């Protein structure tokens, strides 16, 4: 959820500021780009050097640094952020946010930000319960800011009660859950297949193809980024996912068939981008076949057509997407496959197109829907192609 997101972390004057170091580490670990703004009081609790080292970015403390002559553009920082987190958020800063006061860099960036703002209050019990604090909290909620509620426990004053800043792990979980809840595919299950299958000849050799799995992994990542609960069924590949999903590794077409049929019924959207072998050796030698004869013949038998099988199982509520990699009569072959296999969409790419095909980082596709209407896209990186395909699926799902 946070990978490649730009996050401003505002740190206020509170003993809980020590937790911001852990929070930065967790955000970086989640793949976010983090810039930290410290208030003057916060710098009494944690050093800019610590947070700069952890975030791998300079820490902002003032509008203007006299020593370096650098001006911190609060508007630019506010527009840069995909999310703003203020943790710990002191009673003082909450009051400024609620009333539009702007006497430091953090409050100026807050007023310039166009992104969702999360804040995690941290203060003593009496301050937390005070009527003015409650009124300020109500205002911030009305503005659309999202509070990460403080916990209950022993406070710095020695009192026991509410006011402890949420733990960094809780903050990450909370923000991730809020982001996921607002995504278009939240609550949906998606199954994606990727990569080749290897059909063994003997313990050493196999029949396979040149698929790298790049397109399938890009699709799985994009579906997960849109909030779906993704199951990725992959043949042998060196590709790795950038998102949190469930991955099932298979080798043969038979194993992929078994995994697909196991997960098909509970899937709302099924994207079959794997390059599954059409044939497999009729017999597999138990020992390595020695090189003796001038010619060597292997008898092949058809594998089960997984896409056809799933098309026969498909309910009207499910969306089934197939792929067609062609070398000739491309559109005619793709439309035939669309009809025969009961698909909702088919994605065509041709080895005739420069920059498309196996092992490339780019692809050029044409998508046909059930009405056989087509949309052709220009050559793009596969991550962008995945976005185009997912947009077409979303449009179909919402229809």
Residues annotated as catalytic are 209
Q: In what order do the strands lie in the sheet with 229-234?
A: 246-249, 229-234, 189-194, 269-272, 319-326, 345-350, 366-369, 374-376
Q: What is the DSSP letter of 213?
A: S
What letters, b where the CB count within 10 A reaches 16 and e where it falls short, cover 8-24? bbbbbbbbbbebbbebb
Rounded CA separation 260/297 (Å): 31
H helix intervals, the chain: 19-29, 48-55, 74-80, 91-99, 105-112, 125-129, 131-143, 168-181, 214-225, 253-264, 306-313, 330-340, 382-398
Rounded CA separation 17/69 (Å): 27
- Residue 111 CB neighbours (<10 A): 15
Residues 84, 112 contacting (CB under 8 angstroms): no
Rounded CA separation 349/42 (Å): 56
- Residue 375 CB neighbours (<10 A): 11
Peptide bond into 104 cis (omega under 30): no
- Residue 368 CB neighbours (<10 A): 21
Measure the CA angle with vertex 11, ends 10 and 12; round to 5°: 120
Phi and psi of 88, rounded to 5°? Answer: -75, 145
């Amino acid at each position: 959820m946070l990978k490649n997101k730009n996050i401003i972390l505002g740190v206020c004057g509170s003993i809980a500021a020590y937790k911001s170091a852990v929070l930065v580490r967790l955000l970086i670990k989640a793949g976010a780009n983090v810039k930290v703004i410290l208030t003057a009081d916060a710098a009494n609790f944690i050093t800019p050097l610590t947070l700069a080292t952890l975030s791998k970015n300079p820490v902002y403390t003032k509008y203007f640094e006299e020593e370096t002559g650098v001006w911190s553009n609060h508007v630019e920082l506010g527009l840069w952020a995909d999310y703003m987190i203020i943790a710990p958020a002191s009673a003082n800063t909450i009051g400024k946010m609620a009333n539009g006061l702007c006497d430091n860099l953090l409050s100026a960036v807050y007023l310039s930000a166009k992104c969702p703002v999360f804040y995690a209050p941290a203060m003593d019990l009496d301050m937390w319960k005070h009527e003015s604090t409650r009124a300020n909290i109500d205002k911030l909620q009305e503005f659309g800011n999202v509070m990460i509620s403080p916990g209950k426990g022993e406070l710095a004053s020695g009192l026991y009660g509410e006011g402890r800043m949420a733990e960094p792990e809780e903050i990450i979980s909370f923000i991730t859950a809020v982001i996921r809840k607002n995504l278009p595919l939240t609550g949906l299950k998606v199954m994606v297949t990727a990569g080749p299958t290897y059909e063994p000849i003997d313990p050493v050799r196999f029949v396979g193809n040149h698929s790298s799995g790049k397109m399938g992994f890009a699709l799985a990542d994009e579906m997960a980024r849109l909030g779906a609960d993704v199951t990725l069924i992959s043949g042998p590949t060196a590709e790795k996912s950038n998102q949190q999903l469930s991955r099932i590794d298979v080798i043969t077409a038979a194993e992929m068939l078994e995994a697909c049929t196991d997960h098909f019924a509970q899937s709302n959207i099924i994207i079959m981008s794997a390059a599954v072998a059409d044939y497999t050796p009729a017999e597999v030698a138990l020992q390595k076949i020695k090189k003796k004869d001038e010619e060597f013949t292997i008898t092949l038998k058809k594998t089960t057509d997984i896409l056809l099988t799933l098309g026969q199982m498909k309910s009207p509520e499910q969306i089934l997407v197939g792929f067609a990699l062609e070398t000739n009569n491309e559109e005619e072959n793709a439309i035939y496959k669309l009809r025969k296999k009961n698909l909702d969409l088919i994605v065509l790419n041709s080895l005739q197109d420069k920059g498309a095909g196996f092992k490339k980082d780019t692809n050029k596709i044409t998508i046909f829907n059930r009405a056989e209407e087509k949309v052709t896209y220009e050559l793009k990186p596969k991550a962008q192609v995945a976005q185009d395909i997912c947009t077409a699926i979303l449009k179909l799902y919402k229809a």
